[in-house]
Amino acid sequence: MIDGWVLLAFAPAALALNLTPGADMMFCIGQGLRRGPGAAWAASAGIALGGMVHGLVAGLGLGALVAHSPWLFDVIRWVGVAYLLVLAVQSLRAGPMGDAPKAGRHAFREAMVVNLTNPKVILFTLAFVPQFVDPAQPVLPQFLVFAGILSLGGLVINGLAGVFAGGLGRRMARSARVARGLGWLSAGVFAALAVRLAVMERT
């Protein structure tokens, strides 16, 4: 069991982190612009599940392998960069609103892949969560609980940000010219995230 006071300390810290605009929020906004509000929620769910996987990896001690293996860090990072650039190109070709029946499924998968190929998330989990972990108790369940709190908060906040962008995009996309502009904008979001990931440092 995790001490109640520890959870009370962790929850507002997690909320503050979720409210800070970052790569996950920008990705959901990009998906909202490209595919609409439903895809934004799906993308947020994919990122949340990715966060749980990161918590599992860190709790099992595998995250330390990434933290201390520069080559593995770089492999994961460049896979993520390449994937984001592919999404940018697809956004330019498809425009901001994709195939509605498949949009949610695609957004979920893409978001999870992008989250899992961001090694900074692993390093962040290793730096932040252990501050609240009691080493006298089983470590893995604690990592999963804390990762679950972070993921739940992110699911709601990132999803709402993407829904707002998606609703705005649908209204504006009635004009073909504006729709093309939104396609470029969403592609720009993905490309910017790729550049951010490419230039990041390990520490």
Residue 42 lies in a domain: yes
Domain count along the chain: 1
Q: CB-side exposure of 39: number of CA atoms within 13 Å? A: 29
Q: Is the pLDDT of residue 147 over 50?
A: yes
pTM: 0.78
Residue 11 lies in a domain: no
Residue 165 lies in a domain: yes
Top-confidence range, 8-22, 56-70, 95-109: 8-22
Residue 44 lies in a domain: yes
| Mean pLDDT score across all residues of the chain | 82
Residue 126 lies in a domain: yes
Are the beta carbons of 37 and 196 closer than 8 angstroms? no
Residue 2 lies in a domain: no
Mean pLDDT of 67-75: 77
Are the beta carbons of 122 and 116 closer than 8 angstroms? no
Question: pLDDT per residue over 89-144, tens digit each?
Answer: 877 776 445 445 567 888 999 999 989 988 778 878 877 888 888 888 888 899 99
More confident residue, 129 or 21: 129
Q: Is 99 exposed, middle or buried (0-12, 13-18, 19+ CB in 10 A)?
A: exposed
Residue 3 lies in a domain: no
Residue 8 lies in a domain: no
Domain range spanning residue 70?
22-199
Mean pLDDT of 58-76: 78
**Which of 14-18, 25-29, 63-67, 130-134 has the lowest average pLDDT?**
63-67
Return all residues near 50 (Cβ < 8 A) that are at least 6 apart: 111, 112, 114, 115, 116, 121
